[in-house]
Amino acid sequence: MTIRIRRMTLKDIDAIFAIERVSFSDPWSKRAFMSELVERGFNFSIVAEAPKGRKVIGYCLFWIIEDDETHITNIAINPEFRRQGIGKLLIDEVIQRSRDKGIPSVTLEVRESNTAAREFYDRLGFAEAGRRKGYYRKPVEDAIILRMMFEEDSSE
Ligand SMILES: CC(C)(COP(=O)(O)OP(=O)(O)OC[C@H]1O[C@@H](n2cnc3c(N)ncnc32)[C@H](O)[C@@H]1OP(=O)(O)O)[C@@H](O)C(=O)NCCC(=O)NCCS
Q: How confident is the model at residue 153 (pLDDT cuts 50, 70, 90)?
A: very low
Atom of ligand 1 nearest to the CA of 19: 39
Please report, rounded to a whole number, the percentage of residues in the chain having pLDDT higher than 90. 85
Helix and strand tally (H, E) in the chain?
4, 7
Give per-residue pLDDT as tens, 122-142. Answer: 999 999 999 999 999 999 999
Atom of ligand 1 nearest to the CA of 24: 42
Q: How confident is the model at residue 154 (pLDDT cuts 50, 70, 90)?
A: very low
pLDDT at 21 over 80: yes
| Residue 109 designated active-site | yes
What mean pLDDT do residues 20-27 have? Answer: 97
Distance separating alpha carbons of residues 37 and 35, to the nearest angstrom: 5
Ligand 1 proximity of 84 Cβ (cutoff 6 Å): yes
**Contact of 26 with 7, CB cutoff 8 Å:** no
Ligand 1 proximity of 120 Cβ (cutoff 6 Å): yes
Give per-residue pLDDT as tens, 88-100. Answer: 999 999 999 999 9
Ligand 1 proximity of 19 Cβ (cutoff 6 Å): no
**Residue nearest atom 8 of ligand 1, based on CA coordinates:** 82
